[in-house]
Chains A and B, each alone.
Chain A
Amino acid sequence: MDNAIATHPHTHETAVAAHHEHVVLPQHRHHFETEEQQREAGSFGMWLFLLTEIMFFGGMFFAYLLYRNWYNPAFVAASHQLSITLGAINTAVLITSGFFMALGVWAAEVRKKNLLVLFLVLTTIFGFIFLGIKTVEYREKFEHHHIPGANFDVSEFVNPAAHGLNEKPLAPDMAQKTQIFFFLYFAMTGMHALHMIIGLVLLFWLTWRAHRGEFSSGYVAPIENFGLYWHFVDIVWIFLFPLLYLINLGSR
């Protein structure tokens, strides 16, 4: 029995494991000894996946670190083109989404079905608000021709005064390096947004299953592991926001 710890000294010889009652929950796979073991194995697997994700985003963060040091004036000027207000609002929106996800895990643990569905829906709504604000920001970059490639326009960086910008003008060769900033900006926020889109698709699926009551009878693992994924996406943004939006504001 589970209370073997209390009744027997903790040795392998004295543990009467055969008396342990079987967990009858349908989600309990027979190759796991206990439900807790199954749960830990699931969390362990999820964390291993998230570690590969850290390495994946880590490569881009490293590229950012190098280029920011090499072409610092270009990174400063290009970064000032981003809206801090929108970035900060989006940070708050994503943190709020993560907060509701955490509450969703709690609702599943205490087996409150309607609360769980409500929190999952709120998580989804704030996820969509984030992507909506991101779309507004991307659109502005298209309008200014700040998309790396053939149509990239350096005029705002070479001659900022002509565009009504209070920035130090960059030499033409350095101004070209702003493309590297915008390339990294789109690569990193784009991969982050892709992770959010995948997460939102999964959220629809989980909300539907939660609505059917699948996660309110003691089976929390899918909600918990999706929560880990969603919080990981939060963490990536927590680093992206200061690195992309908040470079050298004091020098403005």
Chain B
Amino acid sequence: MSEAHEASNVIDPEHQEHHIVGPGTYGIIFGTLLLFTLITVLAARVEMGVFNPIVALAIACFKAVIVILFFMHVKYQSRLIKMTVGAGFFTFLVLITMTLSDYISRAWGLW
């Protein structure tokens, strides 16, 4: 193997020193996750009609986002990883939207 390194890899600012997330941050996230678990149970008992599943999903999305950003370190990762994660969820949303639009439009006006 070559002794010489590819310059752009060695000095690429994206490959800078690794960020270590400490127990304090994890503790705060842990507390927030437990708190929002309680909130989602309480919110489900409030009659909000069509907004019940929306609120439940919003809380679940918030919890998922803080898990991804902090427990999974995405907040401290390079732009490549951030783009990868974002692209994955975006593609998933596209698939949901396209499939749902098909199902909704098949029996148009009959419901």
Contacts and interface: CB of A to CB of B under 8 A. Distances in A.
Given A37-B9, A103-B23, A106-B21, A54 B4 contact: no
Contacts of A232: 72
Nearest to A107: B23
A52 to B, nearest CB: 9
A51 B96 contact: no
Contacts of A109: 18, 20
B8 A12 contact: yes
B16 to A, nearest CB: 7
Interface string B14-31: 111110111100110110
A10 B47 contact: no
A47 B81 contact: yes
Interface residues of A, number: 64
Contact of B45 (A62, A95, A249): A249
Nearest to A12: B7
Contacts of A40: 14-15, 77-78, 80-81
B103 A44 contact: no
| Interface-central residue, B17, B56, B91, by most chain A CB under 10 Å | B56
A34 B15 contact: yes
A36 B92 contact: no
B37 A92 contact: yes
Given A34-B15, A95-B33, A106-B20, A15 B72 contact: no
Interface string A93-123: 0011011011101100110000000000000
Nearest to B21: A106
B7 A95 contact: no
Given A58-B96, A92-B37, A235-B67, A33 B21 contact: no
B108 interface: no
Interface in A71-108: 84, 88, 91-92, 95-96, 98-99, 101-103, 105-106
Given A54-B89, A238-B64, A95 B37 contact: yes
Contacts of A154: none
Contacts of B48: 250
A4 B99 contact: no
Given A18-B3, A40-B81, A62-B96, A34 B45 contact: no
Contact of A95 (B30, B59, B73, B81): B30
Contacts of A22: 3
B33 to A, nearest CB: 5
**Sorted from nearest, which 3 A-B pairs have the closest CB atoms?**
A250-B47, A51-B88, A246-B44
Interface of A: 2, 4-5, 8, 10, 12, 15, 17-18, 20, 22, 30-31, 33-34, 36-37, 39-40, 43-44, 47-48, 50-51, 54-55, 58, 62, 65-66, 84, 88, 91-92, 95-96, 98-99, 101-103, 105-106, 109-110, 224, 227-228, 231-232, 234-235, 238-239, 241-243, 246-251
Given A34-B5, A102-B21, 19 more contacts: A4-B10, A15-B8, A33-B6, A36-B15, A37-B15, A43-B81, A44-B81, A44-B84, A50-B88, A55-B95, A62-B96, A62-B100, A88-B37, A88-B38, A95-B37, A102-B30, A106-B20, A109-B20, A246-B40
